[in-house]
Amino acid sequence: MTATAAPSAVKRQRPNILVTGTPGTGKTTLSELVALALGYEHINVSELVKAHSLHDGYDEAFDTFILNDDKLCDELEEQLGAATGGYVVDFHTCDVFPERWFDLVVVLRTDNTVLYDRLTERGYSDKKRSENVECEIMQVVLEEARESYQEEIVVELQSDTVEQMESNTERIQEWAKAWLANNA
């Protein structure tokens, strides 16, 4: 992981980090650990969408809210577009966000067997579980990140075990320290 700055009109004091991946890969857990370790604020976009009605209703067939990209970006602009930085954002997609908001995009990947078990434990329907496992197999979120952000800020990390989660937390902490040193 190299600690380069993302292209931005605003020079941030601290980096903003996006943690993305297929549902069940450990985004929220990792984001909470990283935010705690760095003293940054964690933004769980799924919870924000529900709490602030940043959606256009509920899709029963897919058991999910229909995201309103404009409402979401308007809600987050003041925080993520600001010069202070210091946010760890987690969401299962990344192409809705402006590139200028993030200095590091972490895409979590999980073995399909592990992912299947996690989604089963969450009570996902067969349809929703199959759809998400297929997305992981096809690397949908990874490809989306690579198409939406500069190559040097997109990092793929494996997230199957507690040990990998701890290692990922440490790697991101080290990256943030290097970013701060390089962008002081």
Binding residues for ATP are 24, 26-29, 122
Provide the annotated binding site: 24, 26-29, 122
Letter for the amino acid at 56?
Answer: D
Q: Give the relative orientation of helices 126-137 and 140-148 as an angle to the nearest 10 degrees.
A: 50
Phi, psi of 180 (to 5 degrees): -60, -40
CA distances from 29 to 39, 44, 80, 140 (A): 15, 10, 20, 21
Look at the block and give the residue holding tokens 């949908």: 140
Assess contact for 20 and 106: CB atoms under 8 A: yes
* Beta-carbon-side half-sphere exposure of residue 130 (alpha carbons within 13 Å): 4
How long, in residues, is the chain? 184
